[in-house]
Structure 1
Amino acid sequence: MCVGVPMRVVSIEDGNAVAEIDGVKREASLMLLADEVQVGDFIIVHAGFAISRLDEEDARETIAMMREAFAPEDMA
């Protein structure tokens, strides 16, 4: 299963963003996005690429659902 993860952009340099969620940081290319991305924006990161920009409310809702779906107690 492939999952795109909502992450908050913490820095941008040379067309690449560093994005973070729960202390985990990943680099993501911004080359697939038509939308302008700023530090503090939320993006969906999949396989090293930002594939979508989303508003904070949608990002937080998605993150909450992912945390619930992938909760460690479900991994028995």
Structure 2
Amino acid sequence: MCLSIPSKVVEVNRDEVTAIVDTMGVKRRVGIDFIADEVKEGDYVLIHIGYAMNIISEEEALASIETYREILEIMDEEQRRRIVEEDDNCSAVR
């Protein structure tokens, strides 16, 4: 399941057309093929099947992340770990 939790871009590699993003403390590499000309460090992006699909405002991203945190608070530890860390359907295919 891919939840499209807003992720902050922490590093851009234009040669490999990838970025390292931070999704609520979990870092992963994603493809930036669809937004390569626009994305920069510090941007918030939404990811689908391993690719950053669009850039969203920081305000929108932080509001969404807060909602996810509220949801996570009512889940048990195993459920939280699966949602944030084991979201394999959102991993880049590179």
TM-score tier (shorter): 0.7 to 0.9
SS in 2 for 1:63: helix
Tell me the TM-score normalized by structure 2.
0.68
Tell me the TM-score normalized by structure 1.
0.82
**Matches of 2:42 and 2:49 in 1, distance apart?**
21
Write out aligned runs for 1:54-73 (5 A): 54-71=56-73, 73=74
SS in 2 for 1:40: coil
Q: Percent identity?
A: 35
**Matches of 1:4 and 1:35 in 2, distance apart?**
21
Q: In the alignment, what sits opposite 2:2? A: 2
Count of aligned pairs between the two proteins? 75
Write out aligned runs for 1:1-76 (5 A): 1-13=1-13, 14=15, 15-33=17-35, 36-71=38-73, 73-75=74-76
Structure with more strand by fraction: 1
The offset of 1:33, in angstroms, is 2.6
After superposition, give the CA deviation of every residue in 1:7-40 in whole Å (9 maximum; x if it has no partner): 1111111211101133210111111237600111
How big is the alpha-carbon RMSD for the aligned residues of Structure 1 and Structure 2? 2.0
Gaps of 5+ in 1: none
| AA partner of residue 12 (structure 1) | V
SS in 2 for 1:70: helix
**Matches of 2:27 and 2:62 in 1, distance apart?**
17
